[in-house]
Amino acid sequence: MIKFINVSKTYKPDTVGVKNINLHIRPGEFVSIVGQSGTGKTTLAKLIIAELKPDKGRIIIGGWDITQIKPQEIPGLRRQIGVVYQDFKLLQKKTVFENVAFALEVCGEGIKKINTIVPQVLKIVGLENKTDRFPRQISGGEQQRVVIARSLVHRPKILLADEPTGNLDSINAYDIINLLKKINKFGTTVVLVTHNREIVNALRKRVITIDHGMIISDQESGKYIL
Amino acid sequence: MILLSTYRAIKLAFQNFYRNIWLSLATVLILVLTIFLVSLLFGVKIVADKTIDSVKENVDVSIYFEPDAPDNEILAIKENLENKPEVRELNYISKSQALENFKEKNKDNPTILESLEAIGENPLGATITIKARKLEDYQTILKSLDDEKYKGIIQDKDEDYESNQSVIQKLTDVTNKVNRVGLILGIVFSFVAILVVFNTIRITIYTHREEIGIMKLVGASNSFVRAPFIFESILYGILASLICLLILYSLINTISPFLNKFFEGYSLDIVSYFNSQFWKVAALQMVFSVFLSMVSSAIAIGKYLKV
Protein backbone atom coordinates (compact mmCIF):
# COMPACT_ATOMS: atom_id res chain seq x y z
CA MET A 1 0.00 0.00 0.00
CA ILE A 2 2.80 2.41 0.94
CA LYS A 3 6.33 1.90 -0.33
CA PHE A 4 9.39 4.05 0.41
CA ILE A 5 12.50 3.18 -1.58
CA ASN A 6 15.71 4.86 -0.40
CA VAL A 7 13.89 8.07 0.40
CA SER A 8 15.82 11.08 1.70
CA LYS A 9 14.63 14.59 2.43
CA THR A 10 16.82 17.44 3.63
CA TYR A 11 15.55 20.85 4.68
CA LYS A 12 17.56 23.83 3.59
CA PRO A 13 20.30 24.51 4.44
CA ASP A 14 21.32 21.16 5.92
CA THR A 15 18.74 19.81 8.38
CA VAL A 16 18.05 16.15 7.80
CA GLY A 17 14.34 15.32 7.59
CA VAL A 18 14.60 11.65 6.76
CA LYS A 19 17.52 9.63 5.41
CA ASN A 20 17.56 6.44 3.33
CA ILE A 21 14.11 5.28 4.37
CA ASN A 22 13.04 1.88 3.05
CA LEU A 23 9.59 0.94 4.11
CA HIS A 24 6.73 -1.25 3.00
CA ILE A 25 3.30 -1.01 4.58
CA ARG A 26 0.84 -3.63 3.32
CA PRO A 27 -2.87 -3.05 2.74
CA GLY A 28 -5.00 -3.35 5.87
CA GLU A 29 -2.04 -2.98 8.25
CA PHE A 30 -2.06 -0.87 11.42
CA VAL A 31 1.40 0.65 11.73
CA SER A 32 2.72 2.97 14.42
CA ILE A 33 5.60 5.23 13.53
CA VAL A 34 7.30 6.35 16.72
CA GLY A 35 10.22 8.48 17.69
CA GLN A 36 11.10 11.57 19.65
CA SER A 37 10.14 15.04 18.51
CA GLY A 38 12.15 16.29 15.56
CA THR A 39 13.28 12.87 14.39
CA GLY A 40 11.43 12.94 11.09
CA LYS A 41 8.05 11.37 11.85
CA THR A 42 6.08 14.29 10.52
CA THR A 43 8.37 14.59 7.51
CA LEU A 44 7.46 11.00 6.71
CA ALA A 45 3.77 11.79 7.06
CA LYS A 46 4.10 14.86 4.81
CA LEU A 47 5.91 12.80 2.19
CA ILE A 48 3.00 10.33 2.10
CA ILE A 49 0.43 13.05 1.31
CA ALA A 50 2.81 14.81 -1.12
CA GLU A 51 3.02 17.94 0.98
CA LEU A 52 6.77 17.47 0.59
CA LYS A 53 8.71 15.96 -2.26
CA PRO A 54 11.70 13.70 -1.58
CA ASP A 55 15.19 14.76 -2.64
CA LYS A 56 16.14 11.18 -3.35
CA GLY A 57 14.35 7.85 -3.73
CA ARG A 58 10.83 6.89 -4.74
CA ILE A 59 7.48 6.82 -2.96
CA ILE A 60 4.71 4.55 -4.20
CA ILE A 61 1.18 4.79 -2.80
CA GLY A 62 -1.28 2.09 -3.85
CA GLY A 63 0.81 1.31 -6.92
CA TRP A 64 1.02 4.98 -7.86
CA ASP A 65 4.51 6.49 -8.01
CA ILE A 66 4.02 9.91 -6.42
CA THR A 67 7.70 10.87 -6.39
CA GLN A 68 7.24 13.35 -9.23
CA ILE A 69 3.51 13.96 -8.77
CA LYS A 70 2.09 16.92 -10.70
CA PRO A 71 0.30 19.66 -8.71
CA GLN A 72 -3.00 18.93 -10.41
CA GLU A 73 -2.76 15.27 -9.39
CA ILE A 74 -2.30 15.98 -5.69
CA PRO A 75 -6.05 16.45 -4.96
CA GLY A 76 -6.66 12.97 -6.36
CA LEU A 77 -4.04 11.52 -4.00
CA ARG A 78 -5.40 13.38 -0.98
CA ARG A 79 -8.86 11.94 -1.58
CA GLN A 80 -7.39 8.48 -1.16
CA ILE A 81 -5.64 9.32 2.10
CA GLY A 82 -7.57 10.49 5.15
CA VAL A 83 -5.47 12.74 7.38
CA VAL A 84 -5.91 13.42 11.10
CA TYR A 85 -3.77 15.98 12.89
CA GLN A 86 -3.03 16.79 16.50
CA ASP A 87 -4.42 20.31 16.19
CA PHE A 88 -7.72 19.13 14.68
CA LYS A 89 -7.88 21.78 11.92
CA LEU A 90 -11.62 22.26 12.21
CA LEU A 91 -13.43 25.35 10.98
CA GLN A 92 -14.73 27.10 14.09
CA LYS A 93 -17.57 28.83 12.27
CA LYS A 94 -19.02 25.60 10.95
CA THR A 95 -21.02 22.99 12.84
CA VAL A 96 -19.90 19.38 13.20
CA PHE A 97 -22.06 18.38 10.25
CA GLU A 98 -20.82 21.28 8.11
CA ASN A 99 -17.20 20.58 8.91
CA VAL A 100 -17.56 17.03 7.66
CA ALA A 101 -19.72 18.08 4.71
CA PHE A 102 -17.11 20.68 3.75
CA ALA A 103 -14.69 17.92 2.69
CA LEU A 104 -17.27 16.65 0.21
CA GLU A 105 -18.43 20.11 -0.90
CA VAL A 106 -14.98 21.27 -1.91
CA CYS A 107 -14.64 18.17 -4.06
CA GLY A 108 -17.84 19.02 -5.88
CA GLU A 109 -20.13 16.36 -4.40
CA GLY A 110 -23.87 16.91 -4.61
CA ILE A 111 -26.17 17.66 -1.70
CA LYS A 112 -27.81 14.24 -1.91
CA LYS A 113 -24.52 12.39 -1.51
CA ILE A 114 -23.48 14.72 1.30
CA ASN A 115 -26.72 14.07 3.17
CA THR A 116 -26.14 10.32 2.89
CA ILE A 117 -22.44 10.07 3.68
CA VAL A 118 -22.05 12.62 6.48
CA PRO A 119 -24.55 11.01 8.90
CA GLN A 120 -22.94 7.64 8.15
CA VAL A 121 -19.42 8.69 9.09
CA LEU A 122 -20.66 10.67 12.10
CA LYS A 123 -22.33 7.49 13.31
CA ILE A 124 -19.08 5.55 12.90
CA VAL A 125 -17.29 8.02 15.19
CA GLY A 126 -20.25 8.17 17.59
CA LEU A 127 -21.24 11.80 17.09
CA GLU A 128 -24.62 11.31 15.49
CA ASN A 129 -26.24 13.27 18.33
CA LYS A 130 -23.97 16.30 18.13
CA THR A 131 -24.19 17.18 14.47
CA ASP A 132 -25.40 20.75 15.11
CA ARG A 133 -22.76 21.68 17.70
CA PHE A 134 -19.89 23.99 16.91
CA PRO A 135 -16.32 22.81 17.61
CA ARG A 136 -16.02 25.02 20.70
CA GLN A 137 -19.14 23.38 22.16
CA ILE A 138 -17.67 19.86 22.18
CA SER A 139 -14.68 18.29 23.95
CA GLY A 140 -11.21 17.80 22.49
CA GLY A 141 -11.81 14.10 22.05
CA GLU A 142 -15.05 14.78 20.22
CA GLN A 143 -13.34 17.34 18.02
CA GLN A 144 -10.78 14.73 17.06
CA ARG A 145 -13.64 12.35 16.21
CA VAL A 146 -15.05 15.01 13.89
CA VAL A 147 -11.67 15.19 12.18
CA ILE A 148 -11.63 11.42 11.80
CA ALA A 149 -15.17 11.50 10.43
CA ARG A 150 -14.09 14.16 7.95
CA SER A 151 -11.10 12.06 6.88
CA LEU A 152 -13.40 9.13 6.19
CA VAL A 153 -15.86 10.79 3.82
CA HIS A 154 -13.85 9.95 0.72
CA ARG A 155 -13.66 6.30 1.86
CA PRO A 156 -9.87 6.47 1.89
CA LYS A 157 -7.65 3.42 1.52
CA ILE A 158 -5.20 4.91 4.00
CA LEU A 159 -5.80 6.82 7.19
CA LEU A 160 -2.81 8.83 8.31
CA ALA A 161 -3.00 10.06 11.90
CA ASP A 162 -0.21 12.44 12.94
CA GLU A 163 -0.18 12.64 16.77
CA PRO A 164 -3.97 12.35 16.94
CA THR A 165 -3.87 12.02 20.73
CA GLY A 166 -1.33 14.78 21.35
CA ASN A 167 -3.92 17.20 22.73
CA LEU A 168 -6.05 14.67 24.59
CA ASP A 169 -6.10 13.17 28.08
CA SER A 170 -5.48 9.44 28.32
CA ILE A 171 -9.15 8.36 28.40
CA ASN A 172 -9.98 10.37 25.31
CA ALA A 173 -6.76 9.20 23.72
CA TYR A 174 -7.71 5.56 24.14
CA ASP A 175 -11.14 6.28 22.72
CA ILE A 176 -9.54 7.72 19.60
CA ILE A 177 -7.15 4.77 19.29
CA ASN A 178 -10.08 2.36 19.61
CA LEU A 179 -11.83 4.27 16.87
CA LEU A 180 -8.74 3.94 14.66
CA LYS A 181 -8.68 0.20 15.36
CA LYS A 182 -12.35 -0.01 14.38
CA ILE A 183 -11.63 1.79 11.13
CA ASN A 184 -8.67 -0.53 10.53
CA LYS A 185 -11.04 -3.47 10.92
CA PHE A 186 -13.10 -2.11 8.01
CA GLY A 187 -9.99 -2.69 5.88
CA THR A 188 -8.44 0.76 5.91
CA THR A 189 -4.67 0.90 6.27
CA VAL A 190 -3.90 3.00 9.35
CA VAL A 191 -0.61 4.81 9.86
CA LEU A 192 -0.33 6.24 13.35
CA VAL A 193 2.46 8.70 14.01
CA THR A 194 2.98 9.19 17.73
CA HIS A 195 5.39 9.49 20.63
CA ASN A 196 2.90 8.20 23.20
CA ARG A 197 4.60 5.23 24.80
CA GLU A 198 1.55 3.77 26.61
CA ILE A 199 -0.59 3.74 23.54
CA VAL A 200 2.04 2.10 21.37
CA ASN A 201 2.75 -0.54 23.94
CA ALA A 202 -0.96 -1.27 24.44
CA LEU A 203 -1.63 -1.60 20.73
CA ARG A 204 0.58 -4.63 20.05
CA LYS A 205 0.77 -3.81 16.38
CA ARG A 206 3.68 -3.18 14.02
CA VAL A 207 5.98 -0.42 15.28
CA ILE A 208 8.54 1.44 13.19
CA THR A 209 10.98 3.51 15.22
CA ILE A 210 12.71 6.50 13.72
CA ASP A 211 15.72 8.31 15.12
CA HIS A 212 17.64 11.12 13.46
CA GLY A 213 15.70 10.59 10.25
CA MET A 214 16.50 6.89 9.95
CA ILE A 215 14.56 3.72 10.72
CA ILE A 216 16.33 2.06 13.65
CA SER A 217 13.80 -0.69 14.25
CA ASP A 218 10.78 -2.24 12.56
CA GLN A 219 8.95 -4.87 14.62
CA GLU A 220 5.71 -6.75 14.15
CA SER A 221 3.78 -6.49 17.43
CA GLY A 222 6.46 -4.16 18.71
CA LYS A 223 7.01 -1.85 21.63
CA TYR A 224 8.19 1.69 22.10
CA ILE A 225 11.92 1.17 22.50
CA LEU A 226 13.45 4.64 22.79
CA MET B 1 -21.02 19.14 -10.75
CA ILE B 2 -19.30 22.12 -12.36
CA LEU B 3 -22.41 24.22 -11.79
CA LEU B 4 -22.57 23.17 -8.17
CA SER B 5 -18.88 23.92 -7.65
CA THR B 6 -19.28 27.31 -9.31
CA TYR B 7 -22.24 28.06 -7.08
CA ARG B 8 -20.23 27.09 -3.99
CA ALA B 9 -17.24 29.15 -5.09
CA ILE B 10 -19.45 32.20 -5.65
CA LYS B 11 -21.05 31.66 -2.25
CA LEU B 12 -17.61 31.57 -0.65
CA ALA B 13 -16.65 34.73 -2.55
CA PHE B 14 -19.68 36.56 -1.12
CA GLN B 15 -18.81 35.25 2.35
CA ASN B 16 -15.25 36.51 2.00
CA PHE B 17 -16.65 39.84 0.91
CA TYR B 18 -18.99 40.50 3.81
CA ARG B 19 -16.92 38.86 6.53
CA ASN B 20 -14.24 41.44 5.76
CA ILE B 21 -16.70 44.15 4.94
CA TRP B 22 -14.52 47.20 5.72
CA LEU B 23 -11.56 45.92 3.81
CA SER B 24 -13.84 45.05 0.92
CA LEU B 25 -15.45 48.49 0.96
CA ALA B 26 -12.08 50.24 1.06
CA THR B 27 -10.97 48.19 -1.93
CA VAL B 28 -14.13 48.97 -3.83
CA LEU B 29 -13.70 52.66 -2.98
CA ILE B 30 -10.22 52.77 -4.48
CA LEU B 31 -11.50 51.02 -7.58
CA VAL B 32 -14.38 53.50 -7.79
CA LEU B 33 -11.94 56.42 -7.54
CA THR B 34 -9.79 54.97 -10.30
CA ILE B 35 -12.62 54.25 -12.67
CA PHE B 36 -14.20 57.60 -11.89
CA LEU B 37 -10.97 59.39 -12.70
CA VAL B 38 -10.51 57.53 -15.94
CA SER B 39 -14.17 58.12 -16.88
CA LEU B 40 -13.83 61.79 -16.06
CA LEU B 41 -10.79 61.92 -18.28
CA PHE B 42 -12.68 60.40 -21.17
CA GLY B 43 -15.62 62.69 -20.39
CA VAL B 44 -13.43 65.79 -20.59
CA LYS B 45 -11.91 64.54 -23.83
CA ILE B 46 -15.33 63.91 -25.35
CA VAL B 47 -16.65 67.32 -24.27
CA ALA B 48 -13.53 69.03 -25.61
CA ASP B 49 -13.66 67.16 -28.93
CA LYS B 50 -17.35 67.92 -29.30
CA THR B 51 -16.73 71.58 -28.49
CA ILE B 52 -13.96 71.84 -31.03
CA ASP B 53 -16.14 70.13 -33.61
CA SER B 54 -19.01 72.46 -33.00
CA VAL B 55 -16.77 75.53 -33.05
CA LYS B 56 -15.39 74.27 -36.34
CA GLU B 57 -18.93 73.72 -37.53
CA ASN B 58 -19.74 77.35 -36.75
CA VAL B 59 -16.85 78.68 -38.81
CA ASP B 60 -17.70 79.95 -42.27
CA VAL B 61 -16.83 82.78 -44.61
CA SER B 62 -19.24 84.97 -46.43
CA ILE B 63 -18.61 86.62 -49.75
CA TYR B 64 -20.66 89.77 -50.37
CA PHE B 65 -21.20 90.81 -53.93
CA GLU B 66 -21.69 94.32 -55.26
CA PRO B 67 -25.40 95.13 -55.69
CA ASP B 68 -24.87 95.82 -59.36
CA ALA B 69 -22.75 92.74 -60.05
CA PRO B 70 -24.17 90.85 -63.04
CA ASP B 71 -25.97 87.63 -62.15
CA ASN B 72 -24.09 85.47 -64.64
CA GLU B 73 -20.73 86.53 -63.15
CA ILE B 74 -21.94 85.70 -59.65
CA LEU B 75 -23.27 82.33 -60.77
CA ALA B 76 -19.96 81.63 -62.50
CA ILE B 77 -18.11 82.29 -59.26
CA LYS B 78 -20.62 80.15 -57.41
CA GLU B 79 -20.09 77.29 -59.81
CA ASN B 80 -16.36 77.72 -59.62
CA LEU B 81 -16.49 77.52 -55.83
CA GLU B 82 -18.82 74.57 -55.86
CA ASN B 83 -16.36 72.62 -57.92
CA LYS B 84 -13.52 73.19 -55.50
CA PRO B 85 -12.74 70.03 -53.52
CA GLU B 86 -12.07 72.12 -50.40
CA VAL B 87 -15.64 73.43 -50.25
CA ARG B 88 -17.89 71.30 -48.12
CA GLU B 89 -21.01 73.38 -48.14
CA LEU B 90 -22.08 76.42 -50.10
CA ASN B 91 -25.07 78.57 -49.45
CA TYR B 92 -26.10 81.07 -52.11
CA ILE B 93 -28.42 83.95 -51.36
CA SER B 94 -29.47 85.80 -54.46
CA LYS B 95 -30.05 89.54 -54.63
CA SER B 96 -33.84 89.16 -54.45
CA GLN B 97 -33.63 86.53 -51.72
CA ALA B 98 -31.43 88.89 -49.70
CA LEU B 99 -34.06 91.59 -50.04
CA GLU B 100 -36.79 89.21 -48.94
CA ASN B 101 -34.74 88.20 -45.93
CA PHE B 102 -34.05 91.80 -45.09
CA LYS B 103 -37.75 92.70 -45.32
CA GLU B 104 -38.73 89.74 -43.25
CA LYS B 105 -36.18 90.65 -40.62
CA ASN B 106 -37.36 94.24 -40.41
CA LYS B 107 -41.07 93.74 -40.90
CA ASP B 108 -41.80 95.39 -37.55
CA ASN B 109 -39.79 98.47 -38.40
CA PRO B 110 -41.81 100.67 -40.77
CA THR B 111 -39.08 103.34 -41.02
CA ILE B 112 -36.65 100.95 -42.62
CA LEU B 113 -39.27 99.52 -44.94
CA GLU B 114 -40.32 103.03 -45.97
CA SER B 115 -36.78 104.07 -46.72
CA LEU B 116 -36.36 100.90 -48.74
CA GLU B 117 -39.45 101.94 -50.73
CA ALA B 118 -37.88 105.38 -51.18
CA ILE B 119 -34.72 103.97 -52.72
CA GLY B 120 -36.87 102.27 -55.28
CA GLU B 121 -34.40 99.59 -56.27
CA ASN B 122 -32.79 96.65 -54.44
CA PRO B 123 -29.72 98.04 -52.65
CA LEU B 124 -28.53 94.62 -51.48
CA GLY B 125 -26.07 92.34 -53.17
CA ALA B 126 -25.99 88.55 -53.37
CA THR B 127 -24.09 86.57 -50.75
CA ILE B 128 -22.32 83.24 -50.80
CA THR B 129 -21.54 81.50 -47.53
CA ILE B 130 -18.96 78.76 -47.62
CA LYS B 131 -18.00 76.06 -45.21
CA ALA B 132 -14.68 74.42 -45.97
CA ARG B 133 -13.69 70.85 -45.23
CA LYS B 134 -10.70 71.87 -43.17
CA LEU B 135 -9.82 75.10 -41.42
CA GLU B 136 -6.68 75.51 -43.49
CA ASP B 137 -8.76 75.41 -46.68
CA TYR B 138 -10.30 78.83 -46.04
CA GLN B 139 -7.00 80.46 -46.86
CA THR B 140 -6.84 78.82 -50.30
CA ILE B 141 -10.47 79.49 -51.10
CA LEU B 142 -10.25 83.15 -50.18
CA LYS B 143 -7.00 83.56 -52.09
CA SER B 144 -8.62 82.27 -55.24
CA LEU B 145 -11.13 85.12 -54.96
CA ASP B 146 -8.46 87.78 -54.74
CA ASP B 147 -8.12 87.69 -58.51
CA GLU B 148 -8.08 91.00 -60.39
CA LYS B 149 -11.08 90.05 -62.52
CA TYR B 150 -13.35 89.79 -59.47
CA LYS B 151 -12.75 93.42 -58.55
CA GLY B 152 -15.98 95.32 -58.92
CA ILE B 153 -17.97 92.16 -58.45
CA ILE B 154 -17.02 91.14 -54.94
CA GLN B 155 -17.67 93.84 -52.45
CA ASP B 156 -16.29 92.27 -49.33
CA LYS B 157 -15.17 89.04 -47.75
CA ASP B 158 -15.53 88.43 -44.07
CA GLU B 159 -12.50 86.71 -42.71
CA ASP B 160 -13.44 86.14 -39.10
CA TYR B 161 -12.43 82.52 -39.37
CA GLU B 162 -9.05 83.61 -38.10
CA SER B 163 -10.35 84.48 -34.66
CA ASN B 164 -12.17 81.14 -34.64
CA GLN B 165 -8.96 79.45 -35.59
CA SER B 166 -7.16 80.84 -32.57
CA VAL B 167 -10.02 79.73 -30.31
CA ILE B 168 -9.75 76.25 -31.74
CA GLN B 169 -6.00 76.29 -31.33
CA LYS B 170 -6.33 77.24 -27.67
CA LEU B 171 -8.96 74.58 -27.08
CA THR B 172 -6.79 71.93 -28.72
CA ASP B 173 -3.82 72.98 -26.60
CA VAL B 174 -5.80 72.82 -23.38
CA THR B 175 -7.34 69.47 -24.30
CA ASN B 176 -3.96 68.01 -25.10
CA LYS B 177 -2.58 69.17 -21.76
CA VAL B 178 -5.59 67.84 -19.86
CA ASN B 179 -5.24 64.54 -21.68
CA ARG B 180 -1.59 64.23 -20.88
CA VAL B 181 -1.97 65.03 -17.17
CA GLY B 182 -5.05 62.81 -17.05
CA LEU B 183 -3.26 59.93 -18.69
CA ILE B 184 -0.47 60.08 -16.10
CA LEU B 185 -2.98 60.34 -13.25
CA GLY B 186 -4.99 57.49 -14.73
CA ILE B 187 -1.94 55.25 -14.91
CA VAL B 188 -0.93 56.15 -11.35
CA PHE B 189 -4.42 55.45 -10.03
CA SER B 190 -4.70 52.20 -11.95
CA PHE B 191 -1.43 51.14 -10.43
CA VAL B 192 -2.63 52.08 -6.94
CA ALA B 193 -5.88 50.18 -7.55
CA ILE B 194 -3.98 47.08 -8.62
CA LEU B 195 -1.83 47.31 -5.49
CA VAL B 196 -4.84 47.76 -3.22
CA VAL B 197 -6.81 44.87 -4.70
CA PHE B 198 -3.65 42.79 -4.59
CA ASN B 199 -3.25 43.53 -0.91
CA THR B 200 -6.91 42.85 -0.15
CA ILE B 201 -6.81 39.46 -1.82
CA ARG B 202 -3.53 38.76 -0.05
CA ILE B 203 -5.13 39.55 3.31
CA THR B 204 -8.18 37.47 2.41
CA ILE B 205 -5.93 34.56 1.55
CA TYR B 206 -4.10 35.11 4.84
CA THR B 207 -7.27 35.19 6.93
CA HIS B 208 -8.51 32.08 5.18
CA ARG B 209 -5.26 30.17 5.31
CA GLU B 210 -6.75 27.65 7.73
CA GLU B 211 -9.72 26.98 5.51
CA ILE B 212 -7.50 26.81 2.44
CA GLY B 213 -5.22 24.37 4.25
CA ILE B 214 -8.17 22.13 5.10
CA MET B 215 -9.50 22.37 1.56
CA LYS B 216 -6.18 21.14 0.23
CA LEU B 217 -5.96 18.48 2.93
CA VAL B 218 -9.28 16.93 2.00
CA GLY B 219 -8.49 17.00 -1.69
CA ALA B 220 -10.21 20.08 -3.10
CA SER B 221 -9.02 20.69 -6.65
CA ASN B 222 -6.69 23.63 -7.20
CA SER B 223 -9.22 25.49 -9.29
CA PHE B 224 -11.80 25.14 -6.54
CA VAL B 225 -9.38 26.64 -4.02
CA ARG B 226 -8.60 29.56 -6.33
CA ALA B 227 -12.07 30.22 -7.69
CA PRO B 228 -13.57 32.07 -4.68
CA PHE B 229 -10.77 34.64 -4.78
CA ILE B 230 -11.22 35.21 -8.49
CA PHE B 231 -14.96 35.59 -7.98
CA GLU B 232 -14.33 37.95 -5.10
CA SER B 233 -12.24 40.20 -7.31
CA ILE B 234 -14.90 40.11 -10.01
CA LEU B 235 -17.39 41.15 -7.35
CA TYR B 236 -15.18 44.13 -6.44
CA GLY B 237 -14.99 45.11 -10.09
CA ILE B 238 -18.72 44.90 -10.73
CA LEU B 239 -19.62 46.72 -7.54
CA ALA B 240 -17.09 49.47 -8.18
CA SER B 241 -18.29 50.06 -11.72
CA LEU B 242 -21.93 50.21 -10.60
CA ILE B 243 -21.15 52.75 -7.87
CA CYS B 244 -19.06 54.76 -10.29
CA LEU B 245 -21.85 54.75 -12.87
CA LEU B 246 -24.28 56.00 -10.26
CA ILE B 247 -21.97 58.83 -9.18
CA LEU B 248 -21.08 59.77 -12.74
CA TYR B 249 -24.65 60.03 -13.99
CA SER B 250 -25.96 61.81 -10.91
CA LEU B 251 -23.12 64.26 -11.39
CA ILE B 252 -23.88 64.76 -15.07
CA ASN B 253 -27.56 65.28 -14.39
CA THR B 254 -26.87 67.67 -11.52
CA ILE B 255 -24.57 69.88 -13.54
CA SER B 256 -26.54 69.49 -16.76
CA PRO B 257 -28.19 72.97 -16.55
CA PHE B 258 -24.73 74.55 -16.27
CA LEU B 259 -23.35 72.44 -19.05
CA ASN B 260 -26.24 73.26 -21.35
CA LYS B 261 -25.87 76.93 -20.58
CA PHE B 262 -22.18 76.76 -21.32
CA PHE B 263 -22.78 75.19 -24.69
CA GLU B 264 -25.69 77.45 -25.60
CA GLY B 265 -25.63 78.39 -29.23
CA TYR B 266 -23.69 75.34 -30.24
CA SER B 267 -25.32 72.35 -31.82
CA LEU B 268 -24.27 70.29 -28.84
CA ASP B 269 -26.21 68.58 -26.06
CA ILE B 270 -23.63 66.99 -23.82
CA VAL B 271 -26.14 65.63 -21.32
CA SER B 272 -28.30 63.83 -23.83
CA TYR B 273 -25.13 62.62 -25.54
CA PHE B 274 -23.95 60.97 -22.31
CA ASN B 275 -27.43 59.63 -21.65
CA SER B 276 -27.55 58.07 -25.09
CA GLN B 277 -24.18 56.44 -24.46
CA PHE B 278 -25.22 55.01 -21.08
CA TRP B 279 -24.89 51.32 -21.95
CA LYS B 280 -21.61 51.81 -23.72
CA VAL B 281 -20.18 53.71 -20.75
CA ALA B 282 -21.53 51.11 -18.32
CA ALA B 283 -20.05 48.23 -20.30
CA LEU B 284 -16.67 49.92 -20.70
CA GLN B 285 -16.46 50.79 -17.01
CA MET B 286 -17.38 47.28 -15.99
CA VAL B 287 -14.88 45.67 -18.32
CA PHE B 288 -12.14 48.04 -17.19
CA SER B 289 -12.78 47.64 -13.49
CA VAL B 290 -13.23 43.85 -13.59
CA PHE B 291 -10.06 43.65 -15.66
CA LEU B 292 -8.06 45.75 -13.17
CA SER B 293 -9.28 43.81 -10.20
CA MET B 294 -8.84 40.39 -11.79
CA VAL B 295 -5.30 41.13 -12.87
CA SER B 296 -4.27 42.08 -9.36
CA SER B 297 -6.03 39.17 -7.69
CA ALA B 298 -4.45 36.79 -10.18
CA ILE B 299 -1.04 38.13 -9.16
CA ALA B 300 -1.88 37.77 -5.46
CA ILE B 301 -3.21 34.25 -5.91
CA GLY B 302 -0.20 33.23 -7.93
CA LYS B 303 2.10 34.63 -5.29
CA TYR B 304 0.42 33.63 -2.04
CA LEU B 305 -1.91 30.75 -2.76
CA LYS B 306 0.45 27.89 -3.23
CA VAL B 307 -1.66 24.89 -4.09
Our CA-based measurement puts residue A76 at a distance from the nearest CA of chain B, in whole angstroms, of 6
Q: What pLDDT score was predicted for residue B265? A: 66
Cα dist from B258 to B41, B85, B275, whole Å: 19, 39, 16
Helix (H) or strand (E) holding A192: strand A189-194
Give the pLDDT confidence of B223-262 residue by residue, as tens digits.
Answer: 888 888 899 989 999 999 999 999 988 888 888 788 777 7
Residue B160 has pLDDT above 70, yes or no: no
Q: How many CA atoms lie within 13 A of B168 on its CB side?
A: 19
Pairing of strands A81-85, A30-34: unpaired
Phi, psi of A224, rounded to the nearest 5 degrees: -75, 115
Amino acid at B117: E
Phi, psi of B70, rounded to the nearest 5 degrees: -65, 140
Q: Do residues A95 and A134 make contact, with C-beta atoms less than 8 angstroms apart?
A: yes
Pairing of strands A189-194, A30-34: parallel
List the single best residue of A46, A80, A88, A105 to mutate versus B (max B Cβ within 10 A).
Answer: A105
Give the pLDDT confidence of B13-22 residue by residue, as tens digits.
Answer: 898 888 888 8
The angle at the Cα of A203, spanning A201 to A209, to the nearest 5 degrees, equals 60
Q: What is the three-class DSSP state of A68?
A: coil
Our CA-based measurement puts residue A117 at a distance from the nearest CA of chain B, in whole angstroms, of 15
pLDDT category at A31 given cuts 50, 70, 90 is very high
What is the distance, to the nearest Å, from the Cα of residue B124 to the centroid of all Cα atoms in its chain? 43
Give the pLDDT confidence of B59-86 residue by residue, as tens digits.
Answer: 788 888 888 888 888 888 888 888 888 8
Cα dist from B267 to A150, B132, B252, B257, B275, whole Å: 71, 18, 18, 16, 16
Write the CB contacts of B50 (distance below 8 Å, at least 6 apart in sequence): B268, B270, B273
Give the gyration radius of chain A's Cα atoms: 17
Identity of the residue in A83, A89, A107 whose CB atom sits nearest the CB atom of B210: A89
Residue A124 has pLDDT above 70, yes or no: yes
Q: What pLDDT score was predicted for residue B161? A: 67
Amino acid at A80: Q
pLDDT category at A27 given cuts 50, 70, 90 is very high
Give the pLDDT confidence of B174-189 residue by residue, as tens digits.
Answer: 778 877 887 888 888 8
Residues of B in contact with A103 (CB under 8 A): 214, 218-219
List the single best residue of B18, B217, B224 to mutate versus A (max A Cβ within 10 A).
Answer: B217
Q: What is the three-class DSSP state of B59?
A: coil
CA distance B68 to B225: 90
Q: Which residues of chain A from 157 to 196 reach within 8 Å of chain B, CB to CB?
A: none
Phi, psi of A215, rounded to the nearest 5 degrees: -75, 120
Q: What pLDDT score was predicted for residue B266? A: 65
Q: What pLDDT score was predicted for residue B16? A: 83
Q: What pLDDT score was predicted for residue B267? A: 60
Architecture field, domain A27-52+70-219: 3-Layer(aba) Sandwich (3.40)
Write the CB contacts of A179 (distance below 8 Å, at least 6 apart in sequence): A125, A126, A145, A148
Strand order in the sheet with A81-85: A81-85, A158-162, A189-194, A30-34, A206-211, A214-219
Residue B94 has pLDDT above 60, yes or no: yes
pLDDT category at A128 given cuts 50, 70, 90 is very high
pLDDT category at B159 given cuts 50, 70, 90 is low
CA distance B119 to A38: 121
Give the pLDDT confidence of B258-286 residue by residue, as tens digits.
Answer: 877 776 666 667 777 778 888 988 899 89
List the single best residue of A77, A106, A112, A114 to mutate versus B (max B Cβ within 10 A).
Answer: A106
Identity of the residue in A71, A103, A110 whose CB atom sits nearest the CB atom of B222: A71
Give the pLDDT confidence of A189-222 residue by residue, as tens digits.
Answer: 999 999 888 889 888 899 999 999 999 999 888 7
Q: What pLDDT score was predicted for residue B178? A: 77
Q: Do residues B214 and B190 make contact, with C-beta atoms less than 8 angstroms apart?
A: no
Omega within 30 of 0 (cis) for the link into A27: no
CA distance B83 to A10: 89
What residue spans define the domains of chain A? Answer: 27-52+70-219
Give the pLDDT confidence of B218-227 residue by residue, as tens digits.
Answer: 888 888 888 8
The pTM for the full model equals 0.67
ipTM above 0.90, yes or no: no
**Alpha helical stretches, state H, chain A:** 41-48, 74-78, 96-105, 111-124, 140-152, 170-185, 197-203
Which residues lie across from B251 on neighbouring strands?
none
Q: What is the three-class DSSP state of A5?
A: strand
